Structure 1
């Protein structure tokens, strides 16, 4: 699958910050929560995640966002809300920023992640056990930025999403094979990456 975006932000009309949600109840319980049925109403930030976000907004070192767009899962919504309150901004949910769907492993122990990632390394198109393919995640994540590029100029846009989708997006933007997304440095909870 081709990567249509230029890897450098000076080719873009806007500046982008990518943020992984803070430490969540799913992280705390060691669960894969990837379906809207489980992730929108439950499994929000843990006490650790709330503390991370409180510290992060006080010690913010990145450009101040002018817009915040987030996955509609509870953990990303709560993360985005902390930032929007701190900077007096509005926030917009975008379903395309949702967690990667892990199919049959949704609601199961996070011990299944390595199996999925091993399949990813072999084939970015695989859908074993109903898992959303890496190429599908890359397409929807890139579509968010492409849409924002069409709509705005000169904005600093914070995208609040999840670990796998953000690593896949970074791999796509670097024009690397999508099967190598796990070779990207891991994005820690409440981390911010400036594109």
Structure 2
């Protein structure tokens, strides 16, 4: 996908209650209706929309988790867009680490660096995350032409997507600087 018909902006959701509590929330049973934006996340979004530095989005797609839906709703209001939830943009499923301290992430990332197909702890493999995230882009490329599409998702899936787009080995997804909450990056 080196030649894209659309322009893409990738955004990580604002600071969330899960971030504030330092817990892993990656399952739909928790993420769809709980662990939305924290007060800090709401403040981040206010600052972000007041100082928007990127092209104005004309389409908006987002993970259906509460924290990304709330982020997308704020952006949609600012630009008069209809947000489109898409489960393929969800957080990476961290399996049995759900609800545990986020200090457990590096255990998975160390294994990711060795094998992008591993499913230790019941986690969703890096390869699978890349596949579903790239599928979103492929579908948008088929459907739209010359749009500026904002995708609101989560840290790990966005890093994996960027690694895949750059055609780097997926084992290197943690080598790139992480997207911080309420961070936007434009695809080149």
2:32 alignment partner, one of 30, 40, 45: 40
Q: Which stretches in structure 2 are left out of the alignment for 5+ residues?
A: none
The residue that corresponds to 2:19 in the other structure is 27
The residue that corresponds to 1:180 in the other structure is 172
Q: Which stretches in structure 1 are left out of the alignment for 5+ residues?
A: none
Supply the distance in 2 between the matched residues of 1:184 and 1:82 (Cα, whole angstroms). 27
Q: CA deviation at 1:111?
A: 1.2
CA RMSD of aligned residues (A): 0.4
Does residue 105 of the first structure (1) align with residue 97 of the second (2)? yes
Supply the distance in 2 between the matched residues of 1:144 and 1:76 (Cα, whole angstroms). 16
Q: CA deviation at 1:107?
A: 1.1
The residue that corresponds to 2:79 in the other structure is 87
Q: CA deviation at 1:126?
A: 0.1
Specify the SS of the correspondent of 2:103: helix
**1:78-136 residue CA offsets vs partner (Å, 9 max, x unmatched):** 00001000111111000000000000001111111000000000100000010000000
TM-score w.r.t. the length of structure 2 is 0.99
Supply the distance in 1 between the matched residues of 2:55 and 2:135 (Cα, whole angstroms). 23
**1:49-89 residue CA offsets vs partner (Å, 9 max, x unmatched):** 00000110010000000010000000000000010001111
Supply the distance in 1 between the matched residues of 2:171 and 2:33 (Cα, whole angstroms). 31
The residue that corresponds to 2:6 in the other structure is 14
- Alignment length (residue pairs): 187
Specify the SS of the correspondent of 2:113: helix
1:116 alignment partner, one of 95, 108, 113: 108
Specify the SS of the correspondent of 1:187: coil
